[in-house]
Structure 1
């Protein structure tokens, strides 16, 4: 069974076809635009309208904070897909136990169903507002866009991206005109960037905004879509792909931030300003736009943008459903069957809710769907942070310590807000329920179960890592293939030298290992100020001397019959040596060590330790 993510379009866009400059950047752009539509779907509209009408401009800072969170998390998701060639669901399946993966899959499906529910309702409302088609019929019409998705994906990922970008452009232009009509107050917009939460209702809406903005299914989707690009899998190619995909994410998500901010500002400038503080339904917002703004174009553009948002985000939602199922369960079914199942999971609760409670319930359903998304976020974010921090899994492209701290801070904020929300809601239900024992026997154990699951996925990778380190020291039976003992002499050995007394022992040990059939490379790093600033371009006296010393070592060894190359690095030795080793085709690095510890480590530095953590090949230390 294939393990490729979204096999129909996997590596279908070749970016190696002699493209240069801006054209090469354009070849990488696309995946983040498909992600961005999830950040401006109808669920966002519901939370933004509710926030703007009730609290004016006060929650704009939540949108900005959510956008910063989204940019970091989506860049981590893209990094995982680019480096490991596995999406987030596949990486989880390889890391966690079968039953934990079943639980994570169940939660991911709930999140996708909640997201799709918002998209179905949003499109149905837009159709109703623009064409007068009843809401129930509009919900049923949304089944048809499943076949549009099937048509688009068969045309190729670039055609699908072009379609999505067109819909995003429609949404963006619609709100440019809405802003012109609304004429918001700029000083109050700036004031709204200062963090504040007026009351507990604002917290509920703020969590909904976070859930609507930082969407869990987008993390699964992004780690898959970046794999549609085919590029050179060497270090340079991966770095370039990471860079261009970050540019893609920055542009696309800032556009999504503009749309979300525009919706909230429109609600603040139109409804809150005129005393309509309880506008949470999209239909009510649509009806009030014309009389409050004095133009018939405002509600028309509003409805057109809503349909475009629903249509674009439903495509990405169903793709995410396919990725989650194939990744967690390693189960591949016909794409059209998977997409119809995803759509039906969303349509059934929407139809039932409308039949039982009437059309006026749609606003509450939209807001609830976004809170559900936010509650599921921790179960997607925490595994993602663990994976991209793993040096082995990421093959040296793991995130640095500062990025790890920022990512864990974001996860802590989201999880803490969600725990508070769940606790407040459970407390309220228990206090107001006529039969609280039912809740104690059902809802409370489920909530505690998910809390334990969350704690488990936080600590499990740390426990596994510690266990592996312990296991590495346990007695075991060596399986030696003595016929292969001569193979080491054919390998490529790097030797770090610093023109001290430690060099002699390091070189002699290397020669004793490889003999005359191995190839050796002598590496030295120049640490002058010029080297730090100008690198290879430096031409100072010390660089010249160091190069002469290396050539002297080389000529003496070559005269003895050894194959020897030399390489100069520039700057801090740990970084320079690691860079040369990682870019070369070496099998072993040998370094001489002076054996100093304690205070001397502080004074002289610990190059050996730094190099050891940066390279991906064995390191052999020779003590002077």
Structure 2
């Protein structure tokens, strides 16, 4: 008599080797909320499906309008007027493409980008990529924490070190909200983004920009590349707009939706995840463009070209624009930006640590560790530098992010171009060419930036 087959457990199924991967998949990304949100069955209307999938794009978009963006956009607008507006636009198109690839990787393979790197590369390479990613997250969190602390200082007079310490409370907030469902976090972030959007709609109206100059600024100009000082800020904008940790974040949070694990189900999920992130990134483009336009209209050509510090911009907005609420609205938007960014940054830190190292710690401990990685350096900076120099530090943090970007983009493009890993969802030939062109441009710009920096031309 033949022995009866014993059904495989979920863990055993996950441990089954898969084509194209060096290691078998172990566990799910963000396991506590994985596949926790239901989506409408086949046959539901477009809008019902869109509402169900709407959310992850907003969490991703938050990273594209964090305080680091403010510093680079302020510097670009004040020093060079509307010229770098084209860089913001092009960077946003890069972001849309790369976030589409990140969402596709997560939906098709069931892995976030960190897990994919761990399962594809040898352990030393994976550890190296993890270290680089942690550096990028630390740089990103530095910008977010300092931005929130500056906003609290501007609004309430709270000293910067105390403001930095206050931002650690987001660890408790994320834990509390996630226990009540992932949709709660998405709704909170959506509310903060709406607040930022309203604030900058007001700032644009109050600044009375040169609309013709604004339109010309959307057209790329050669001097962006030939002028070293302009290139330095431009690459900072690129680093602030296309953020490495967002690729890890997006590839994970798209898996919160409970999709059908069929070709049709995955295609539908990719379609709506792409629409979700693209619409959200258009909102992020408006905010980034609004910051640069406001700085260009208020400071460029008016003797304030050296404004790159958020605190200085806040002080000058009311007297320069003559709008009494301009400075207060600016600070409110900054606080909303910083706090929403720290929420998503904490999640990204958890995803990266779990994905690369396969660590399974308690949620509060994971978030505390990832938060301290950012808060400790930010606290030191706040104590030593105070208000002075924070603008330069924010711009520098975005340049560091840009330098780390290649180490996230290249694996993402490699994986989504791999037929064994992606099957019928592998990138089409035109998408492969476009993805490699974007990755190549990012690498070339970063090499050029390093060369200019070593020559002291920044």
Relative to the length of structure 1, the TM-score reads 0.68
Shift in Å, 1:357: 3.1
Distance 1:289 1:412 in 2: 39
Distance 2:384 2:47 in 1: 54
Unpaired stretches in structure 1, ≥5 consecutive residues = 430-624
Partner of residue 51 from structure 1, selected from 62, 65, 76: 76
Higher mean Cα deviation, 27-36 or 12-21?
A: 12-21
Indicate yes or no: 2:154 matched with 1:129: yes
Distance 2:116 2:38 in 1: 24
| Partner in structure 2 of residue 120 of structure 1 | 145
| Partner in structure 1 of residue 374 of structure 2 | 346
Is residue 353–residue 361 contact of structure 1 (8 Å, CA) maintained in 2?
A: no
Distance 1:103 1:205 in 2: 28
Cα deviations across residues 456-509 of structure 1 (Å, max 9, x unaligned)? Answer: xxxxxxxxxxxxxxxxxxxxxxxxxxxxxxxxxxxxxxxxxxxxxxxxxxxxxx
Is residue 127–residue 133 contact of structure 1 (8 Å, CA) maintained in 2?
A: yes
| Partner in structure 1 of residue 426 of structure 2 | 398
Distance 2:214 2:452 in 1: 30
| Partner in structure 2 of residue 463 of structure 1 | none
Higher mean Cα deviation, 91-100 or 329-338?
A: 329-338
Cα deviations across residues 383-415 of structure 1 (Å, max 9, x unaligned)? Answer: 000100111111210110111111111111111
Partner of residue 371 from structure 1, selected from 388, 399, 424: 399
Partner of residue 249 from structure 2, selected from 202, 215, 221: 221
Shift in Å, 1:17: 5.1
Indicate yes or no: 2:264 matched with 1:236: yes
| Partner in structure 2 of residue 280 of structure 1 | 308
| Partner in structure 1 of residue 169 of structure 2 | 144
Shift in Å, 1:3: 1.3
| Partner in structure 2 of residue 491 of structure 1 | none
Distance 2:339 2:231 in 1: 29
Is residue 228–residue 452 contact of structure 2 (8 Å, CA) maintained in 1?
A: no
Distance 1:317 1:340 in 2: 12
| Partner in structure 1 of residue 29 of structure 2 | 5
| Partner in structure 1 of residue 453 of structure 2 | 425
Cα deviations across residues 514-558 of structure 1 (Å, max 9, x unaligned)? Answer: xxxxxxxxxxxxxxxxxxxxxxxxxxxxxxxxxxxxxxxxxxxxx
Higher mean Cα deviation, 243-252 or 353-362?
A: 353-362
Closer/same/farther in 2, CA of residues 428 and 180 from structure 1, 3 Å limit: closer
| Partner in structure 2 of residue 192 of structure 1 | 217
Is residue 43–residue 119 contact of structure 1 (8 Å, CA) maintained in 2?
A: yes
Partner of residue 298 from structure 1, selected from 291, 312, 326: 326
Relative to the length of structure 2, the TM-score reads 0.92
| Partner in structure 2 of residue 36 of structure 1 | 61
Of structures 1 and 2, the one scoring higher in RCO (CA 8 A, sep 6+) is 2
Shift in Å, 1:375: 0.4
Is residue 83–residue 217 contact of structure 2 (8 Å, CA) maintained in 1?
A: yes
| Partner in structure 1 of residue 39 of structure 2 | 15
| Partner in structure 2 of residue 355 of structure 1 | 383
Distance 1:183 1:357 in 2: 34
Distance 2:286 2:208 in 1: 15
Distance 1:427 1:265 in 2: 31
The 3-state SS of whatever aligns with 1:359 is: coil
Unpaired stretches in structure 2, ≥5 consecutive residues = 1-10, 12-25
RMSD of aligned Cα (Å): 1.3
Distance 1:336 1:193 in 2: 44
Matches within 5 A, 1:543-622: none
Is residue 325–residue 332 contact of structure 1 (8 Å, CA) maintained in 2?
A: no
Distance 2:139 2:456 in 1: 23
Shift in Å, 1:53: 0.2
| Partner in structure 2 of residue 178 of structure 1 | 203
Indicate yes or no: 2:118 matched with 1:90: no
Matches within 5 A, 1:101-120: 101-120=126-145
The 3-state SS of whatever aligns with 1:195 is: coil
Higher mean Cα deviation, 2-11 or 351-360?
A: 351-360
Aligned length: 429
Shift in Å, 1:231: 1.6
Distance 1:83 1:288 in 2: 50
The 3-state SS of whatever aligns with 1:7 is: coil
Cα deviations across residues 113-159 of structure 1 (Å, max 9, x unaligned)? Answer: 11111000000001111111111111111111211111111111111
Distance 1:216 1:243 in 2: 22
Higher mean Cα deviation, 233-242 or 367-376?
A: 233-242
Distance 2:34 2:91 in 1: 30
Shift in Å, 1:356: 2.6
| Partner in structure 2 of residue 592 of structure 1 | none
The 3-state SS of whatever aligns with 1:187 is: helix
Shift in Å, 1:8: 1.2
| Partner in structure 2 of residue 519 of structure 1 | none
The 3-state SS of whatever aligns with 1:289 is: helix
Shift in Å, 1:203: 0.6
Shift in Å, 1:259: 0.3
Closer/same/farther in 2, CA of residues 273 and 427 from structure 1, 3 Å limit: closer
Is residue 16–residue 231 contact of structure 1 (8 Å, CA) maintained in 2?
A: no
Distance 2:262 2:376 in 1: 47
Cα deviations across residues 18-61 of structure 1 (Å, max 9, x unaligned)? Answer: 74331121101110110000000000000000000000000000
Is residue 48–residue 260 contact of structure 1 (8 Å, CA) maintained in 2?
A: yes
Shift in Å, 1:421: 1.2
